[in-house]
Amino acid sequence: MPTYRIAPSILSADFARLGEEVRNVVRDGADMIHFDVMDNHYVPNLTIGPLVCEAIRPHVQAPIDVHLMVKPVDRIIPDFAKAGANIITFHPEGSEHIDRSLQLIRDHGCKAGLVFNPATSLDYLDYVMDKIDIILIMSVNPGFGGQSFIPEALKKIAEARRRIDESGRDIMLEVDGGIKIENIAAAAKAGADTFVAGSAIFGKPDYKAVIDDMRAQLAKA
């Protein structure tokens, strides 16, 4: 059975008590903290930066998974690495030189990965699999939380899983967007092993109950 990881997105958390929120969700069974960075340029929204990452770092031992929805990415990568990120992913459209950006992340001691929007081809992977630790498939168009899962993403997850298996490398396959109890098993069956969930967890009063239900669904997958 694969190692499944649940990564709540703090985009849906209560920002007035963010330290408490991340402590509680890790206590209740989360494996990672997903950190969405939007720049009101690459995507039509503005969220949080390295200072917030630095602020929550002392509150949890769990990995912080930073998803950069920014353009250009290279300037901000070192700041997040210094702020305590463990994983940094970015969209290929946000980099002039993808290979260089991936290496920059690794040079700063973090795991590196690429993010693929619903309409972005996986062909970028052909040239950089040796520098990738994680692939993130977007099952919504990036920019806002609370969107509905796009079923077509399951095909892309399956194709990414095929590429990972053929590479023989230990690469995480993450899915982000509209993940909830009702569809997490379908994403797992397609090949995902890491699941970002925002409003499905932080929008509920009992984080542990939701995470336990998600794990029960994954056990069936």
- Active-site annotation holds for 14: no
- For residue 89, what is the enclosing H or E element? strand 87-90
Residue 2: DSSP 8-state: -
Residue of 36, 39, 65, 193 marked catalytic: 36
- Active-site annotation holds for 79: no
Strand partners, 39: 46
- Are 140 and 147 a contacting pair, CB within 8 Å? yes
What interhelical angle do 18-27 and 207-220 show, nearest 10?
40
- Are 92 and 66 a contacting pair, CB within 8 Å? no
* Length of the chain measured in residues: 221
Residue of 74, 176, 206, 213 marked catalytic: 176
- Are 126 and 98 a contacting pair, CB within 8 Å? no
User: Which residues does the annotation mark as catalytic?
Assistant: 36, 176
